[in-house]
Homo-oligomer: A and B are copies of this chain.
Amino acid sequence: MFEFELIARSGATAARAGIFHTPHGDLLTPVFAPVGTQGTVKAVTPAQLKELGTSLVLANTYHLYLRPGDELVKELGGLHEFMRWPGPILTDSGGFQVFSLSDTRKIDDDGVTFKSHIDGSMHRFTPEKSIEIQNNLGADIIMAFDECPPPLDRDYNEIALARTHAWAARCREHHRRGEQALFGIVQGGIFPDLREQSAEFLMELDFPGYAIGGLAVGETKAQMQATVEVVNSFLPENKPRYLMGVGSPEDLVNGVMRGVDIFDCVLPTRLARNAAALTRTGRLNMKNAQYARDGGPVEEGCACYCCANFTRAYIRHLIVAKEILAATLLTIHNIHLLLTLMREMRAAIVEGTFESHAASFLENYRPVGQNS
């Protein structure tokens, strides 16, 4: 279980193609995971996700702990059964959401006390509690509880790193379920020496996979890429590497190029609910008046259900008329694009054409903003 087979490498870059075996199926890496925060990838059914070729779905421990409660999910057969996702699931540790969503919090060396963003009730996560919740949810891949400091703050990162490492050891110790792979999370902001220290510490604990945390939250793209490169230069070849919370088309290409195997991001689904379409050349705001009479598909040449059937004019009409179907169709398109990009990159790695494939993609792509 949780064996990671390396199938191919791109000679000129750090990109690799692999297979990560999980109890709910194989992940063909590099892979992108759509996010199902509250036990549903927003605006689509599991059947639609399946049709898109989705393999891995992420769910959020913080949200599911608060609502409907991990005990209830366990009682009803675990998260796979609850949300009816038959494939692999990954849950985060809840750490990032505690730091970004909850109203107030008190961090000490033992854990974090926080106020629910839903009803203001007080709760406490410790490394052990996070593992217990994730054990109840029953995802295939679970994450160590970590602290997520701003990536540019050296002092904070030094203090947080010590805590994150102690917590990683406690998570490793507390997790006993063999059918769930616990990944360690490398922290350390944009500081190479901290990242090295973190990678070394976690490798000592011998996790079945490693995540790169604390990025895509304020640093530049160049800083993100440099950090990914540094971390992956330390991580073992024979374990999957997961870049957390990253998922714009250009970030996926840049991440794969630097040796990342797993990605997740709310970007495709959140953009879809905000009327934006991802394409191979950049983003489109489908609400723009220029699409009002446009009889073409959202993206020319795209084979997804949205593009194979509907016009830009119709999608824009749905958006203007505030119809739910707009979110559903754009979600389908955006996820389809990212999953297709991942499959194409994997094929290019296997065929030995990844370097030119990636270069050509990046040349045609106009990115928007920073970490967006």
Contacts and interface: CB of A to CB of B under 8 A. Distances in A.
B40 A318 contact: yes
A38 B84 contact: no
A154 interface: no
B40 A313 contact: no
Interface stretch (A18-26, A183-191, A304-312, A341-349): A304-312
B324 A43 contact: yes
Interface stretch (A75-83, A102-110, A254-262): A75-83
B38 A314 contact: no
A69 to B, nearest CB: 9
Report copies per complex: 2
Contacts of A42: 323-325
Contacts of A44: 325
Contact of A324 (B309, B316, B324): B324
Interface residues of A, number: 39
A8 interface: no
Given A40-B325, A324-B328, A75 B293 contact: yes
Given A45-B305, A314-B82, A323-B38, A295 B67 contact: no
B293 A325 contact: no
23 contacts: A38-B317, A38-B323, A40-B318, A40-B325, A42-B323, A42-B325, A43-B328, A44-B325, A45-B328, A46-B309, A67-B320, A68-B292, A68-B316, A72-B292, A72-B293, A72-B313, A76-B293, A76-B295, A76-B311, A76-B313, A82-B311, A82-B313, A84-B309
